[in-house]
Amino acid sequence: MAEAAAATKTTKPGWRTLVRSLRNRKSAYMALFGFASGLPFALFLGTLYAWLSEAEVDLETMGVFSLIGLAYAFQFLWSPLLDRMEIPGLHRLGKRKQWIAPAQLLLGIILVTMAGLDPKSSLGWFSLLAGIGAFASATQDIVINAWRIDIADEEATIDILSTVYQMGFRLAALVGGALGLIVAARIGWPQTYVMMGCIMLAIGLAGLFAPDADVDQAASVAKNEKQTAELYVPGEIEPRVRNWALLAVGLLWGWAILTVGVFMARSMTAIPEERPDPTAFIATYGPLIVIATIVLPAFVAAWLAKLKRDGKHVIVEGRAGKASDGLILDQLYRALVQPLVEFVGRMGWSLVLILALVLTYRITDAIWGTFAYPFYLGELQYTNDEVAVASKFFGVGAILLGLALGGWLITVLGRMFTLTLGAGLAAATNLLYADLALGGATMQAVSDATGFTWAVLQFPGGSERLARLMITIGGENLAIGIAGAAYVAWLSSIVAKGYSAVQYALLASLTLLVGTLGRGALGQMIEERGYYYVFIFTALIGVVAVVLCILEWIRESRGKRAAGVVAPEAREALPAE
């Protein structure tokens, strides 16, 4: 009982909580791991194309490299393995760290090795290393998200760890992107990638000393056996029914993995003119894969949860079995099905609200990001340099400021308040772009009145129109930072620690569904109605997200009152722990 009381002990949000969280060494490692997540993402999906262009690699061949983005888009497909599999000899590092540190060291070695190759003459090896690197990078992202959830406590709170992670990620995007281009222009691409590789190696070595959960291998084995045995106690679903559910979910996941695998094989082996289009593949099959791996399995999980709740097809007293004959099937069930059963069973009908909020909260920037550069460069006729200054440097700074402000607001005013505020601000900033689409008179007036235009004019190349663009992007990115800090913290808080890798990866992947479905419709709307109406429309979608945030706020408040606790982050994992 004392342990249960300790688990639900709460602390009042405030400055002291914030200071304690930031001083905790878990926060320092979270910043490192966030940086390690963002750096390969920038190097493989952005900066690499600049190197290939400079090496005069043709665009058709360069299209192969766009395939590495699939590793990030569909990373949830192998997340169940990372929750259950162990690397022989490395488990003593910890459940999550056994994957994090090797992935980071591998990424460092790959970046250094790529630096020694000529992209044009050694394109085969170059593309192979980039593909392996993207897979390793996506893998570490899955496990780092799970690590953040697993090691969070009352001092290093999930809210602060989530904010620190995003700040590290955004800073790495700046280092690997804009600063990488600047450095490469002065010392060359090979030297730049050697430098980036050494940074990853250093983080990987430092990560060996990070704290982690389940470091004791004997205790972990005993815990795994106990959790498997719990599938056979009275009240649990009968093995026969579990296996049918596993077969259904396994076939759906198998189809998804096979579909992605066949597409990758065709793309890597076919001649350029016969390669399938990656964008068309994601737009067509992306939503189907998400439906097959998330939506339909969720219905299966809901069915199992209902059977268990109603006492149908469950093991009855006196007929409990042993976890021996179906051990492999039990492990597969725990990896694929049980995370969803736990989540659906815990959330109940609230799952509808959760999924609606996940689908709408980041929809404005998830869809709009694809059309940002056509809007800046084509519609508004800004130059590449102006967009780089406004978006890459000033914009990233605004996001970092927004993340810091978001972390402070979460700590002082609460997670749900900040989540709702972030949704409102994100929706409102679409109106800033709507004004820009009409000529930007209001944004220019704001820039002039605040003295921002005067400040921009003091720099070489500064102009009133650049100030107008910078203050608009700055306002949006500040809102994105606040919303992002609250969203990742909220998403991390609703998953169970024992299933964190799978549950978080699956929920986060839903942005793929809404993004791929929405971009085509949004592009058509831009063609037919223009950018102004699109910004008004996305602002209205943002209002829906605000309403859903308020409903979720009410749901959590009622749940906390019913449970007699104050902080949802105090909830430990349920059956998995």
- Are 202 and 231 found together in one domain? no
Model pTM score: 0.83
**Are residue 493 and residue 355 in the same domain, yes or no?**
yes
Output the pLDDT for position 423.
93
One domain, residues 508 and 421: yes
Examine the fold and report which residue of 194, 215, 236 is the final residue of a domain before the chain moves on: 215
> Do 44 and 182 sit in the same domain of this protein?
yes
Amino acid letter for position 512 = L
Helix (H) or strand (E) holding 381: none
What's the confidence (pLDDT) of residue 498?
80
d(C-alpha 226, C-alpha 228), whole Å: 5
Sign of CA dihedral 83, 88, 94, 98: negative
Q: Rg for the chain (alpha carbons), in Å?
A: 24
Same structural domain, 379 and 517 = yes
pLDDT above 50 for 264 = yes
What's the confidence (pLDDT) of residue 11?
A: 45
Task: Give residue 537's pLDDT.
Answer: 86
Closest CA to 76 of 481, 513, 515, 574: 513
Same domain as 182, residue 230: no
pLDDT at 516 over 80: no
Q: Are residues 375 and 314 in the same domain?
A: no
Which of 215, 241, 269 is a domain's end point? Answer: 215
Q: Annotate 399-468 with three-state secondary structure.
A: HHHHHHHHHHHHHHHCHHHHHHHHHHHHHHHHHHHHHHHCCCHHHHHHHHHCCHHHHHHCCCCCCHHHHH
What are the Cα distances from residue 239, in Å, to 83, 236, 249, 322, 335?
22, 9, 15, 10, 15
* 165-169, 278-282, 401-405: least confident range: 278-282
Distance in Å from the first CA to the final CA of the chain: 16
Domain residues for 192? 13-215
In a domain, 577, yes or no: no
Same domain, yes or no: 27 and 74: yes
Tokens representing 62 are 């360069």
Average pLDDT over residues 266-290: 73
Mean pLDDT over each residue of the chain, to the nearest integer: 82
Q: What does DSSP assign to residue 315?
A: P
pLDDT surpasses 90 at 199 = yes
Residue 2 lies in a domain: no
User: Which of 200, 215, 230 represents a domain boundary (last residue)?
Assistant: 215
Instruction: Report, as an integer, the average pLDDT of 60-88.
Output: 77
Residue 7 lies in a domain: no
How much is the pLDDT for 513? 61
What is the arithmetic mean of pLDDT over 302-313? Answer: 86
CA atoms of 4 and 561, how far apart (whole Å):
17
Model confidence at 573: pLDDT above 50: no
- What's the pLDDT tens digit per position in 533-563? 888 988 888 899 999 999 999 998 887 777 6
Same domain, 138 and 258: no
Q: What is the phi-psi region of residue 161: left when phi exceeds 0, alpha when psi lies from -120 to 50, beta otherwise?
A: alpha
Mean pLDDT of 46-54: 82
CATH number at residue 513: 1.20.1250.20
428 with 490, same domain? Answer: yes
Asked whether residue 571 is domain-assigned, the answer is: no
Strands (DSSP E) along 113-232, which ranges? none
Question: Between these two residues, 24 and 466, which has the higher pLDDT value?
Answer: 466
Q: Please determine, for residue 111, whether its predicted confidence score (pLDDT) is greater than 80.
A: yes
Averaged over 219-226, what is the pLDDT? 70
In a domain, 20, yes or no: yes
pLDDT band at 234 (very low <50, low <70, confident <90, very high): confident
DSSP 244-309: HHHHHHHHHHHHHHHHHHHHHHHHHHS-GGGPPPHHHHHHHHHHHHHIIIIIHHHHHHHHHHHHHH
Residue 343 in domain:
no
pLDDT score at 64: 64
Distance (Å, rounded) from C-alpha 159 to C-alpha 161? 6
pLDDT of 435: 92
Tell whether 32 and 84 lie within a shared domain: yes
Please check the confidence at residue 520 and state whether its pLDDT lies above 70: no
Q: State mean pLDDT over 402-420.
A: 91
**pLDDT tens digits, 5-36:** 333 344 445 556 666 666 788 888 999 999 99
Q: Across residues 506-533, what is the average pLDDT? A: 73
In a domain, 573, yes or no: no
106-120, 307-321, 368-382: segment of lowest average pLDDT: 307-321
Q: Whole-angstrom Cα distance, residue 476 to residue 184?
A: 30
pLDDT at 294: 84
Question: What's the total number of domains in the chain?
Answer: 3
Kindly state whether residues 223 and 211 are assigned to the same domain.
Answer: no
Whole-number pLDDT of residue 9: 40
User: pLDDT for 487-512, tens place per residue?
Assistant: 999 999 999 888 888 899 888 877 66
Q: For residue 518, what pLDDT band results from cuts at 50, 70 and 90?
A: low
The pLDDT value given to residue 576? 37
C-alpha–C-alpha distance, residues 97 and 93, integer Å = 6
- Whether residue 569 contacts residue 429, with contact meaning beta carbons closer than 8 Å, is answered with no
Flag whether 554 is in a domain: yes
